[in-house]
Amino acid sequence: MESGSKKVVYAALIGNVAIAISKFVAAAITGSSAMLSEAIHSLVDCGNEVLLLIGMKKSKRKADARHPFGYGKEMYFWALIVAISIFAIGGGISVWEGVHHIQHPAPVEYPKLSMWVLGLAFLFEMGSYLVGYREVKSRLRDGERIFSYVKRSKDPATFVVVVEDLAALDGLVIAFLGIALGRLLDNLYLDGVASILIGLLLVVVAIFLTMETKGLLVGESADPVRVEKIKRAVLEDSMVLNVGELLTMQLGPHDVLVNIEVNFRQGLTVAQLDEALDRLESCIRETDKDVQRVFLEAGSLRGKKPRSFPVHS
């Protein structure tokens, strides 16, 4: 999964570098406000991919005394910075550029060149999106849609890029229509209107990504389906009576902490209990390969109050 996420980010970065260069050249030649907004959009996307790669690298650092649970949430921090940059830089500058163009309208020179560049950019973006889509599709559950996957996903390196690409494709369509209709209707304002719409689109995307990454950074539980799978695996053990409180936290895209209260059958010896704890730890790890830390708590033991048996990695 991690190699797949990196492939998605690198594909998006390569595509956006080529697209940004072509858009800036076209914007300089044509003077199109919508084209300049699209160029800024692609430049921001390039920076975002770099930030995601930084987050992926930093999140792999090993746990130490200051961060005993590791650095997995670094990925979520950098994903949040990406969302903020889309809002502040991409959305803000595009809206400002559009308002400025409406206040000081000017004809778009060489509109055919702009439309050709936008068409080529659309092909590049579609290629990047398909790489991300194939990776996401391999992780979809039966009958699940991409939006549902984004809502439950704990890997922002993938879903941020896919959402960015979708926004970029929509933005290219808006820019194309703004330039084409502006020329067809001889309306100097439509180019600026398109720039504002692109900016508003980026703002909406940024707010959505901010909400998703904020939850991960604060400390979301693992996916409910995975949690239920862990619970069922524990209940299958012959020594287990039932499961009490089951708490999980996503510490990184592939790093889950599990704290589970297990009520054992009465009459177990200390040796049997110790063996059961080791067996359950192994069972949980085998059930979900992303579980890195397991803490087991005996909820009932010979009628005594619950005792805690932490099992360290």
**313 residues of the chain, pLDDT tens digit each:** 555 678 888 888 888 898 889 889 888 888 888 888 888 888 888 888 898 899 889 988 888 888 888 898 999 999 889 888 887 788 888 898 889 889 988 787 788 888 888 888 899 889 888 988 888 888 888 888 888 888 888 888 888 888 888 888 998 899 899 989 988 898 989 988 998 998 899 889 889 889 888 888 888 899 999 999 999 999 999 889 899 889 999 998 889 999 999 998 888 888 888 899 999 999 999 999 999 999 998 876 544 444 444 444 4
The pLDDT of residue 227 is 93
The pLDDT of residue 283 is 94
Q: In what order do the strands lie in the sheet with 307-311?
A: 240-252, 255-264, 291-300, 307-311
- pTM for this entry: 0.78
For residue 277, give Cα distances in angstroms to 16, 227, 235, 240, 272: 51, 18, 13, 10, 9
**CA-based nearest residue to 201, from 243, 244, 163, 240:** 163
The pLDDT of residue 313 is 43
Domains of the chain with CATH codes: 2-218 (1.20.1510.10), 224-311 (3.30.70.1350)
The pLDDT of residue 304 is 47
| No. of helices (H) and no. of strands (E), the chain | 10, 4
Helix (H) or strand (E) holding 212: helix 190-218
The pLDDT of residue 236 is 92
The span from the CA of 145 to the CA of 180, in Å, is 33
The pLDDT of residue 310 is 46
**Three state DSSP letters for 232-268:** HHHHCCCCEEEEEEEEEEEEECCEEEEEEEEEECCCC
